[in-house]
Amino acid sequence: MTAPLPTPLPTPLISTAELAARLGEVLLIDASFDLANPAAGRAAFARAHLPGAVYAHLDEDLSSAKTGSNGRHPLPERALLTHKLGAWGVAPGRAVVVYDRNGGMYAARAWWLLRWLGHAAVTVLDGGLDAWQRAGGAVQAGEAVAPVLAGAAPYPAGESLVGSVDADTLARSLGQVCLVDARAPERYRGDVEPLDPVAGHIPGALNRLFKDNLAADGRFLPAEQLRAAWAPLIGATPAAEVIHQCGSGVTACHNILAMEVAGLGGSRLYPGSWSEWCADPARPVARG
């Protein structure tokens, strides 16, 4: 008798109840991080994480080296990322759940990267570790050292499931695409700039703070509310013509995830974002 196929993984979000029912079936990745203290996420993982989770560090695992002109969190080298994913146990078809303790801002980056490598069976835990613990979910402590599977093959990257654009392509497309900046309004306007050397935004960009995708309890707003919130911003623009950016290509993934939740799939990422854009003094800057 043929064994029944596993129930498809809820995507792009999974609830705590759905995860609890499938905990032994999925690979868990904790992407918690703190831009102001890069060691904080690993320390928080060591204090408490979902049972069996591995830890993914934004700088060390989910980004590549900075050159001064490629932004603060450049996309990781594909070959290196495939080796890390293979060592963590990610394999084609294996269900992966990513989470953080930051409202999904770093989990969304990990979710996007797995899809970038062609892995469709990945979803984000809605509400993250906080929601899991409020629901009575068990946690464990331990050092933030990912188990390395001896002799594990690299993840066999396939065709990307997400779209992206580089700085030159975006520069040629300004005024022809819907560009959405996920940073806080004061950074978008150029009133303050705590992280990058130049204040302001890419000309023509609209502003949608990524935190506005969340309800008060840290979970994503329901799909219909997100659709209603995004509609005035993107208007009749097809999702595939919407490009997302932020400071360094991290929280922009949160807006991409929110659009997916809203049923508006297919929008693209400008990975270098403002930190790459403003590194070239020849590129235009808008303020206000």
User: Both 255 and 197 in a single domain?
Assistant: yes
Output the pLDDT for position 246: 98
Tell me the two tokens of residue 135: 């629901």
Residue 55 lies in a domain: yes
User: Both 115 and 171 in a single domain?
Assistant: no
User: Both 129 and 204 in a single domain?
Assistant: no
Q: What does pTM read for this prediction?
A: 0.95
Residue 110 or 144, more confident:
110
Residue 287 lies in a domain: no
User: Both 38 and 83 in a single domain?
Assistant: yes
Distance of CA 225 to the CA centre of its chain: 21
Mean pLDDT along residues 259-281: 97
Mean pLDDT along residues 77-83: 95
Mean pLDDT along residues 101-126: 98
Q: What is the DSSP letter of 194?
A: S
Asked whether residue 4 carries a pLDDT value surpassing 50, the answer given is: no
Question: By percentage, how much of the chain surpasses pLDDT 70?
Answer: 95
Task: Select which of 178, 246, 253, 278 is catalytic.
Answer: 246
3-state secondary structure of 276: helix
User: Both 63 and 118 in a single domain?
Assistant: yes
CA angle 35, 98, 244 (to 5 degrees): 60
Output the pLDDT for position 150: 60
**What digits encode the pLDDT tens for the residues 235-244?**
999 999 999 9
Q: What is d(CA 210, CA 213) in angstroms, rounded to the nearest whole number?
A: 6
User: Both 18 and 120 in a single domain?
Assistant: yes
**What digits encode the pLDDT tens for the residues 15-61?**
999 999 999 899 999 999 999 999 999 999 999 999 999 999 999 99
Helical spans, DSSP H, in the chain: 16-21, 40-47, 78-88, 107-116, 128-134, 167-173, 185-189, 223-234, 252-261, 273-277
Output the pLDDT for position 68: 92
Name residues whose C-beta falls within 8 Å of residue 136's C-beta, 6 or more positions apart in sequence: none
Output the pLDDT for position 19: 97
**What digits encode the pLDDT tens for the residues 115-174?**
999 999 999 999 999 999 999 999 999 975 555 566 689 999 999 999 999 999 999 999
User: Both 120 and 17 in a single domain?
Assistant: yes
CB atoms within 10 A of CB 228: 12
User: Both 198 and 266 in a single domain?
Assistant: yes
What is the domain extent for residue 228? 163-277
User: Both 18 and 126 in a single domain?
Assistant: yes
Structural contact between residues 27 and 140, judged by C-beta atoms closer than 8 angstroms: no
Closest CA to 50 of 146, 139, 141: 139
User: Both 71 and 108 in a single domain?
Assistant: yes
**What digits encode the pLDDT tens for the residues 194-204?**
999 999 999 99
Amino acid sitting at position 195: L
Residue 282 lies in a domain: no
Query: Mean pLDDT over all residues of the chain?
Result: 94
Tell me the two tokens of residue 253: 């993934």
Residue 218 lies in a domain: yes
User: Both 115 and 195 in a single domain?
Assistant: no
Structural contact between residues 110 and 56, judged by C-beta atoms closer than 8 angstroms: yes
Residue 114 lies in a domain: yes
Total of domains in the chain: 2
Output the pLDDT for position 146: 52
Structural contact between residues 62 and 113, judged by C-beta atoms closer than 8 angstroms: yes
Structural contact between residues 237 and 34, judged by C-beta atoms closer than 8 angstroms: no
Q: Is 278 a catalytic residue?
A: no
Helical spans, DSSP H, in 6-127: 16-21, 40-47, 78-88, 107-116
Output the pLDDT for position 143: 79
Tell me the two tokens of residue 218: 């840290």
- Give the torsion through C-alpha atoms of 126, 272, 155, 125, to 10 deg: 0
